[in-house]
Amino acid sequence: MNMIDLRSDTVTKPTEEMRKAAYTAEVGDDVYGEDPSVKRLEEAAAEILGKEDALFVTSGTQGNQLAILVHCRPGNEVLMEAESHIFYYESGAASALAGVQTRTIPGVRGAMSAEAVEAAIRPEDQHFPETGLICIENTHNRAGGAVVPVSNMREIYNVAGKYGVPVHLDGARLFNASTAQGVPVTDLTAHCDTVQICLSKGLGAPVGSLLAGNRDFIQKARKWRKRLGGGLRQAGIIAAPGYIALTKMSERLAIDHENARIFAEGINEIALLNVANQVDTNIVVVDVSKTGQTQEEFCLRLKEIGILAGGFGSGLVRFVTHFDVTKADIDKALKGISDTLR
């Protein structure tokens, strides 16, 4: 059975161009700084993201944790939205690795208010940890791929500057946010000190992420990457597909957004189902509670008819569009879901 995989945009297979790029990549030992394909990727990332320098890392989690390790010292407090990826999905790494505590701020569709952020910044007092970092996530995964507006990011960055606190942007799907708002990605990265982007989500590379910031920050992050066992040797084999992802694949993200919109409209026409999120980008969260099935039971039933989706909390199922999912796949999935509920 040919499965329609809507679990995540991490499931994409490398394109033919990416596979050829990996095969023909010029490589060297990256720990020695001798891999030309890695260098080309990092230089392109720094330019595209509007930062001085960039570092190729194995994953978005590694990029985010390197940022915390460099920006903070043990005992600091890191402010972030209550359902952010760093808090929710990174295995407590901030406390385990950096020795910091997280302080969560409830947001609206993933966006914290600047007023709430300012109120959470600790005053100088021997009883309190120092606020070491503020993290923003854009797009916001658990808010259903919601876009955090540039204006909100600007307001938070201004507050952070007032108190001398750096801002890190978890931009795993930042190019989706840029596409949805119709603005250059630098309009978003202008309002953070450091940024992490994933190459292996909407951009479709087989592996890897990038961390960008000023040169001093990246130099320190490179050393922390080594401490964590993230020093890579002939990494050009994975950097070359990443370069294609970075420089070419963002151009087609609007297709994924349109397919998600079509899917959401179709879901809302199926009895017992309704879309639970405002669909800004490529993520659709569906409330299946009226079917009388749990999210696990619903996903299992869909798997039996060739559709893969993921549970997303009580009564919720997440569907994510990506470049391996066509408009025809969307139509087929909607028909299959409708038929199975009759």
pTM attached to this predicted model: 0.97
Query: Could you tell me if 261 and 243 lie in one domain?
Result: no
Residue 116 has a CB neighbour count (10 Å cut-off) of 16
Query: Could you tell me if 49 and 114 lie in one domain?
Result: yes
> For the chain, how many structural domains are there in total?
2
- How high is the pLDDT of residue 262? 98
Give the domain range for residue 80: 12-249
- How high is the pLDDT of residue 342? 83
Query: Could you tell me if 265 and 240 lie in one domain?
Result: no
CA distances from 321 to 74, 182, 193, 272 (A): 39, 19, 30, 22
What CATH number is given to the structural domain containing 119?
3.40.640.10
Antiparallel, parallel or unpaired: β 77-81 and 101-105: parallel
Residues 267-317 have pLDDT tens digits of: 999 999 999 999 999 999 999 999 999 999 999 999 999 999 999 989 999
Complete DSSP assignment for 64-88: HHHHHHHH--TT-EEEEETT-HHHH
Query: Could you tell me if 287 and 184 lie in one domain?
Result: no
Say whether the peptide bond before residue 102 is cis (omega within 30 degrees of 0): no
Residues 95-138 have pLDDT tens digits of: 999 999 999 999 999 999 999 999 999 999 999 999 999 999 99
Long-range contacts from 184-189, C-beta under 8 angstroms, 24+ separation: 185/48, 185/49, 185/50, 185/250, 186/48, 186/49, 186/50, 187/150, 188/138, 188/150, 188/153, 189/49, 189/50, 189/51
> Please, which pLDDT band fits residue 61 given cuts at 50, 70 and 90?
very high
- How high is the pLDDT of residue 133? 98
Residue ending a domain, among 219, 249, 279, is 249
Residues 155-208 have pLDDT tens digits of: 999 999 999 999 999 999 999 999 999 999 999 999 999 999 999 999 999 999
Residue 1 has pLDDT above 80, yes or no: no
What CATH number is given to the structural domain containing 319?
3.90.1150.10
Query: Could you tell me if 24 and 35 lie in one domain?
Result: yes
Averaged pLDDT, 26-50:
97
Averaged pLDDT, 48-64:
98
State the average pLDDT for the chain. 97
Query: Could you tell me if 289 and 153 lie in one domain?
Result: no
Residue ending a domain, among 183, 216, 249, is 249
Residue ending a domain, among 202, 234, 249, is 249
Query: Could you tell me if 212 and 279 lie in one domain?
Result: no
> Contact at 8 Å (CB) between 27 and 218?
no
Query: Could you tell me if 299 and 159 lie in one domain?
Result: no
Query: Could you tell me if 275 and 300 lie in one domain?
Result: yes
- How high is the pLDDT of residue 120? 98
Query: Could you tell me if 265 and 161 lie in one domain?
Result: no
- How high is the pLDDT of residue 51? 98
For a pLDDT cut of 70, what percent of the chain falls above it? 100
Query: Could you tell me if 41 and 119 lie in one domain?
Result: yes
Residues 228-245 have pLDDT tens digits of: 999 999 999 999 999 999
Query: Could you tell me if 264 and 330 lie in one domain?
Result: yes
